[in-house]
Amino acid sequence: MPEASKMKKPDVKLVLLGDMNVGKTSLLHRYTDRKFKDTVSTVGGAFFLKQWGPYNISIWDTAGREQFHGLGSMYCRGASAVILTYDVTNWQSLAELEERFLSLTDTASHDCIFAIVGNKVDLTDPKAQLSQDSSGVSEDQTEHEEERTEPQVLSSCPTPPASPASLSGITVHKQVAHEDAMALYGRILRYKGLEEKSSLPAERMCFETSAKTGYNVDALFETLFDLVLPSILRKRNENQQCPTIDLEECRGASSKRARFCC
């Protein structure tokens, strides 16, 4: 059910990035609607407001299509967390993260955290075929078993639409190992000029998920929500210090002023 709180101002922003057809929209659907639904290729972007304790977290689902690539930095601006999503059955989708999407995060908040998520792991990993999600997933699963219709089938999508066979144990070749994602995480830290020691460890920030079965999906989002809380508090603090902000004034002067008055 969509939140009734559409008009609330979000406290913090999470952005899902990644090539088309890796399952960004499905991940968000699975988390918010507890379902694996038929999705169409996202146009532009969409967002969802999640109430997390006393905070409103906006989660932006972006379009993976090349056509909308230019808009990515708009969505990423000021983001507190970026979820870089790839498809474990598609090596190229991981490569694209580094080639195309990483630069979009330049506009993100300076303390932005990164998660790397390999989706569709139910296709390669038997343990992910059993849903972890307790609430009524089993029925959804049967309901939607034949509905994994990837949009734009004409494109070079290496994953076939989900068929009953995929659940009965026949797995697809896994092209991206968990270690590859962890290595990418290390490179991202270097790209951002961050110390590996002082950053969140790769084991914690690299996930393998299945939007279809719900495997690891809650863990992904909720880990990130907990990790961005400090960022919310910091933002609130800043707002309290200068309740009415003239953005232009603040940019140059207020930081200096704050330093003096202390």
Q: What are phi and psi of 208, to 5 degrees?
A: -120, 125
User: Per rule CB under 8 A, is residue 254 in the interface with other proteins?
Assistant: no
Among the residue ranges 38-46, 89-97, 112-120, 186-194, the one whose residues contact other proteins (CB under 8 A): 38-46
User: Per rule CB under 8 A, is residue 151 in the interface with other proteins?
Assistant: no
User: Per rule CB under 8 A, is residue 262 in the interface with other proteins?
Assistant: no
Among the residue ranges 68-76, 130-138, 161-169, 228-236, the one whose residues contact other proteins (CB under 8 A): 68-76
- Judged by DSSP in three states, 145 sits in helix
Among the residue ranges 69-77, 149-157, 211-219, 229-237, the one whose residues contact other proteins (CB under 8 A): 69-77
Residue 180 to residues 58, 64, 118, 143, 257, Cα–Cα distance (Å): 29, 21, 10, 34, 46
Q: Which is nearer to other proteins, 6 or 197 (CB)?
A: 6
Torsion of CA 150, 156, 159, 160, to 10 degrees: 70
CA distance 70 to 28: 22
CB of 118 to other proteins, least distance (A): 26
User: Per rule CB under 8 A, is residue 250 in the interface with other proteins?
Assistant: no
| Residue selected from 154, 247, 261, 262 as contacting other proteins according to rule CB under 8 A | 247
User: Per rule CB under 8 A, is residue 110 in the interface with other proteins?
Assistant: no
User: Per rule CB under 8 A, is residue 182 in the interface with other proteins?
Assistant: no
Q: Which is nearer to other proteins, 46 or 95 (CB)?
A: 46
- Element spanning 258, H or E: helix 255-261
Nearest to 188 by CA among 32, 109, 84: 84
CA distance 25 to 59: 11
Q: Which is nearer to other proteins, 44 or 161 (CB)?
A: 44
Is there a contact between 28 and 61 (Cβ–Cβ < 8 Å)?
yes
Residue 108: how many CA atoms within 13 Å on its side-chain side? Answer: 26
Among the residue ranges 18-26, 71-79, 81-89, 182-190, the one whose residues contact other proteins (CB under 8 A): 71-79
Inter-axis angle of helices 217-241 and 24-33, to 10 degrees?
90
User: Per rule CB under 8 A, is residue 139 in the interface with other proteins?
Assistant: no
**What does the binding site for other proteins look like in residue numbers (CB under 8 A)?**
1-2, 4, 6-7, 43-47, 60, 65, 67-68, 70-71, 73-75, 77-78, 107, 247-248, 251
